[in-house]
């Protein structure tokens, strides 16, 4: 089949062996690639109830059938493993040159098993796979690691993915970094990599990627490029990037503020929103293979971090380090983002844990005597930066915070779990669900914990026609959004061009035909998405998850919002349960959230 | 009456006050007045028939008008009207 290589590279770090793992055409037809193929592989490879840090936990790097083609946003890859943060399913997405280089070297992805007895890194090209010692890299931050590897290869165009000290120290929300500023960040994939003593992966391929119909691919790209040029949304996105989202979430009353106590923050405007960030942009950037760019580099223009450069910050970081910590300093947020990238940690979870501790201090549930003198209060940017480093290095109280907000709340106790904002142990991203009830359902039923990538409900509830504070129709709405993104994440394309050009699944079906010579009709995509999502549900059920895990924090369910358009609103257990019942029904799962025999048979699982 | 107008698009404009000689207007009345009598970055988003360019929507006090009374939504003194592209993702 064109577009894919039909083989994965299996690396056994325990025994220092590698081998090709053929993937059948039927597997691609049934699961597409990316998230879908990963669901099948993890379900089959992971012994049930395995500790995420056990050598038996596989670490999968997967591409999709459009990776490395000319399709816009096709330089993505996904890392799939059992999460040390949630103890369940984890898929974490990133852009990065490594996706394309792996495919050009002849692999659709990597299956990494076992554990090396000493720090190592993988070097992969067309002809060879080497497990090299990495003692000289261990302890280095991600930026330095990437620089040293590119220097030793004498080739700046190689693909490098690496972990920082946080991954080495198994911080449960440690990231895997690529191309300096791109992170597969959610769920602790970097910690699993660290547990295998795997510091980095280097890939360089020169084989090229064969596709079925190049002319058709070029024709589709010309057409869609013109659509992007005419799209007001794409042009706004190109200019401002994701910081524009902050203006919408503030306006719509879903901007997390003061550890999700409030939903709007006027002080953010013109400082850490689209206008504020735009003033610091020094150049716009695009991911490889993207003609609808939305990235940019900023430079800190004042203060003690003056001159430091970052690709970003993105909206999530602005929310979790800005409004959620009551800090309106863009230089601070850029510096916090740089630190998280260097040390190798998810900015969402890191920012969320710090916001939680700030509220604990405010409520006098902890004192500096318990945190080795570190007093972290809302608005204190210096303390926030110090907390990042302590978490990454697991120093002092940072060792507790590095376990995530759920574990930190368990440690502190005294009712703090009521405002520990997480689902299944994974921290909330930067959207307040009380201002858009569908977001609450989306967080609750997400297999990887509170997630903004499976669905982006503000598109429907703030910008669309769905009333935000009702539950009617929300289960169907969330299922539709989940299924669409499931396909995009299995084709493994960025879901942003789909939203702002926009490109439909029919458009991607045409791209797929140009790439592999076969198209999948929209109704088949639908069934495939349901198959993948149900398989992931079965995985989590096998790991011990039940309906009780599909829930929301006390604050979201029971504390009315004190401000914004959603003032007075909270979701309530009854509303959440009704939405979950309906969602399960639409999925063909029983009232306990277990897929029925009929569903399993219909989906050929 | 005075309303506040935001535009989130290729240009971002925050909290621009607009004085309109209207009494108990609907959004339709306000759109007509904004298009014809008040110069601003919203002008290019509002078409002759008062519909918007593709990919753009209107919020009144943070709510999409499609979840309110659409163009018949009553506008009051001090209301905040936002013209925005369909921003996606973070």
The answer to whether residue B90 sits within a structural domain is: no
Task: For residue B54, name the pLDDT band (cuts at 50, 70, 90).
Answer: confident
Task: For residue B89, name the pLDDT band (cuts at 50, 70, 90).
Answer: confident
- With beta carbons less than 8 A apart as the criterion, state whether A141 and A149 touch: no
Peptide bond just before A405 cis, omega within 30 deg:
no
pLDDT score of B34:
95
User: Of A183, A228, A244, A452, which to mutate for an interface test with B (greatest number of B Cβ within 10 Å)?
Assistant: A244
Q: What is the CATH number of domain A433-500+521-602?
A: 1.10.599.10
Instruction: Tell whether the model's pLDDT for residue A338 goes beyond 80.
Output: yes
- Chain A CA closest to residue B11: A236
The residue extents of the domains of chain A are 7-204, 241-427, 433-500+521-602
Q: What's the token pair of residue A250?
A: 């503030």
The answer to whether residue B42 sits within a structural domain is: yes
The answer to whether residue B45 sits within a structural domain is: yes
> What's the DSSP call for residue B26?
B
Contacts of A102 (CB under 8 A, 6+ apart): A9, A61, A63, A77, A108, A109, A110, A124, A159, A203, A205
Cα–Cα nearest to A583, from A530, A525, A523: A530
Give contacts of A429 with chain B, Cβ < 8 Å. 90
Residue A591: CB atoms within 10 A of its CB come to 10
Task: Confirm or reject CATH 1.20.120.530 for domain A241-427, answering yes or no.
Answer: no
Q: Could you tell me which residues are beta bridge partners of residue B8?
A: B12, B84
- With beta carbons less than 8 A apart as the criterion, state whether A469 and A457 touch: no
Beta strands in A403-497 (DSSP E): 422-423, 426-427
Contact call for B10 and A232, based on CB within 8 A: yes
> What confidence tens digit (pLDDT) does each residue in A402-412 have?
999 999 999 99
Contacts of A483 (CB under 8 A, 6+ apart): A525, A526, A529, A530, A533
Contact call for A500 and B55, based on CB within 8 A: yes
Task: For residue A518, name the pLDDT band (cuts at 50, 70, 90).
Answer: confident
Contacts of A594 (CB under 8 A, 6+ apart): A541
Instruction: Tell whether the model's pLDDT for residue A1 goes beyond 80.
Output: no
Contact call for A232 and B55, based on CB within 8 A: yes
To the nearest whole Å, the CA of A592 is away from the closest chain B CA by 31
The CATH number assigned to the domain holding B38 equals 3.10.20.30
Rounded-to-10 torsion of CA A257, A263, A264, A265: -10
Task: For residue A379, name the pLDDT band (cuts at 50, 70, 90).
Answer: very high
pLDDT score of B87:
86
The span from the CA of A305 to the CA of A106, in Å, is 43
> What confidence tens digit (pLDDT) does each residue in A174-222 have?
999 999 999 999 999 999 999 999 999 999 999 989 999 999 999 999 9
- With beta carbons less than 8 A apart as the criterion, state whether A508 and A495 touch: no
To the nearest whole Å, the CA of A92 is away from the closest chain B CA by 15
State what percent of residues in chain A have pLDDT above 90: 96
> What confidence tens digit (pLDDT) does each residue in A98-157 have?
999 999 999 999 999 999 999 999 999 999 999 999 999 999 999 999 999 999 999 999
Instruction: Tell whether the model's pLDDT for residue A533 goes beyond 80.
Output: yes
Task: For residue A541, name the pLDDT band (cuts at 50, 70, 90).
Answer: very high
> What confidence tens digit (pLDDT) does each residue in A276-306 have?
999 999 999 999 989 988 999 999 999 999 9
- With beta carbons less than 8 A apart as the criterion, state whether A238 and A293 touch: yes
The span from the CA of B73 to the CA of A170, in Å, is 53
The answer to whether residue B13 sits within a structural domain is: yes
A7-204: CATH topology is Aldehyde Ferredoxin Oxidoreductase;  A, domain 1 (3.60.9)
Q: How many domains does chain B have?
A: 1
Given CB atoms, is A281 within the 8 Å cutoff of chain B? no
Q: What is the mean pLDDT of residues A508-523?
A: 91
Which structural domain range is residue B75 located in?
2-85
């Amino acid at each position: 089949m064109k577009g894919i290589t039909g083989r994965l590279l299996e690396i056994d770090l325990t025994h220092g062996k590698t081998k090709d793992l053929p993937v059948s055409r039927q597997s691609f037809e049934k699961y597409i690639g990316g998230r879908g193929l990963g669901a099948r592989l993890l379900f089959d490879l992971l012994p049930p109830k395995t500790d995420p840090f056990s050598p038996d936990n596989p670490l999968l790097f997967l591409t999709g059938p459009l990776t490395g083609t000319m399709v816009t946003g096709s330089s993505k890859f996904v890392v799939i493993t059992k999460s040390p943060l949630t103890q369940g399913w984890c898929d974490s997405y990133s852009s990065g040159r490594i996706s394309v280089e792996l495919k050009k070297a002849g692999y659709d992805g990597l299956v990494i098993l076992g554990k090396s007895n000493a720090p190592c890194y993988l070097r992969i090209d067309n002809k060879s796979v080497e497990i090299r010692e990495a003692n000289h890299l261990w302890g280095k931050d991600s930026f330095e690691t990437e620089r040293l590897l590119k220097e030793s290869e004498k080739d700046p165009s190689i693909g490098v993915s690496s972990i920082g000290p946080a991954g080495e120290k198994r911080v449960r929300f440690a990231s895997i970094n690529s191309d300096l500023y791109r992170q597969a960040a959610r769920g602790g994939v970097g910690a699993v990599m660290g547990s295998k003593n795997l510091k980095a992966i280097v890939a360089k391929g020169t084989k090229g990627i064969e596709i079925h119909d190049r002319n058709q691919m070029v024709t589709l790209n010309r057409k869609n490029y013109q659509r992007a040029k005419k799209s007001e949304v794409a042009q706004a996105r190109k200019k401002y990037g994701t910081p524009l989202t902050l203006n919408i979430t503030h306006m719509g009353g879903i901007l997390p503020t003061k550890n999700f106590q409030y939903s709007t923050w006027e002080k953010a405007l013109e400082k850490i929103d689209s206008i504020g960030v735009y003033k610091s942009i020094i150049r716009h950037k695009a991911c490889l293979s993207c003609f609808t760019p939305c990235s940019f580099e900023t430079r800190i223009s004042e203060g003690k971090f003056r001159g430091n450069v970052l690709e970003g910050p993105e909206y999530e970081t602005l929310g979790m380090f800005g409004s959620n910590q009551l800090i309106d300093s863009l230089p601070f947020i850029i510096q916090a983002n740089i630190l998280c990238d260097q040390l190798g940690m998810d900015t969402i979870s890191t920012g969320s844990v710090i916001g939680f501790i700030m509220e604990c201090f405010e409520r006098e549930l902890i004192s500096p005597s318990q945190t080795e003198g570190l007093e972290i209060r809302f608005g204190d940017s210096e303390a926030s930066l110090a907390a990042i480093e302590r978490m990454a290095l697991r120093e002092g109280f940072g060792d507790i915070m590095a376990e995530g907000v759920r574990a930190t709340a368990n440690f502190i106790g005294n009712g703090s779990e009521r405002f520990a904002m997480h689902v299944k142990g994974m921290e909330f991203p930067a959207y307040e669900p009380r201002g858009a009830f569908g977001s609450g359902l989306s967080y609750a039923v997400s297999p990887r914990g509170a997630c903004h990538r499976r669905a982006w409900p503000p598109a429907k509830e703030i910008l669309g026609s769905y009333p935000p504070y009702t539950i009617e129709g929300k289960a169907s709405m969330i299922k539709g959004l989940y299924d669409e993104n499931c396909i995009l994440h299995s084709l493994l394309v960025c879901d942003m061009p789909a939203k702002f050009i926009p490109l439909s699944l029919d458009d991607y079906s045409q791209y797929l035909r140009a790439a592999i010579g076969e198209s999948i009709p929209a109704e088949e995509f639908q069934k495939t998405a349901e198959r993948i999502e149900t398989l992931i549900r079965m995985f989590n059920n096998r790991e011990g998850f039940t309906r009780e895990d599909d829930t929301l924090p006390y604050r979201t369910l029971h504390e009315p919002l004190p401000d914004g358009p959603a003032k007075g609103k909270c979701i309530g257990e009854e509303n959440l349960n009704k939405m979950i019942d309906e969602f399960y029904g639409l999925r063909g799962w029983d009232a306990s959230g277990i897929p029925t025999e009929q569903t399993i048979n219909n989906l050929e699982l | 009456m005075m309303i506040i107008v935001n535009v989130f698009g290729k240009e971002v404009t925050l909290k621009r006050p607009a004085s309109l000689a209207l009494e108990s207007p609907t959004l339709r009345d306000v759109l007509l007045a904004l298009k014809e009598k008040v110069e601003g970055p919203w002008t290019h988003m509002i078409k002759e028939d008062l519909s918007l360019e593709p990919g753009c929507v209107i919020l009144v006090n943070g709510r999409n008008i499609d979840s309110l009374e659409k163009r018949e939504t009553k506008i009051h003194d001090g209301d905040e009207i936002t013209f925005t592209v369909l921003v996606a993702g973070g």
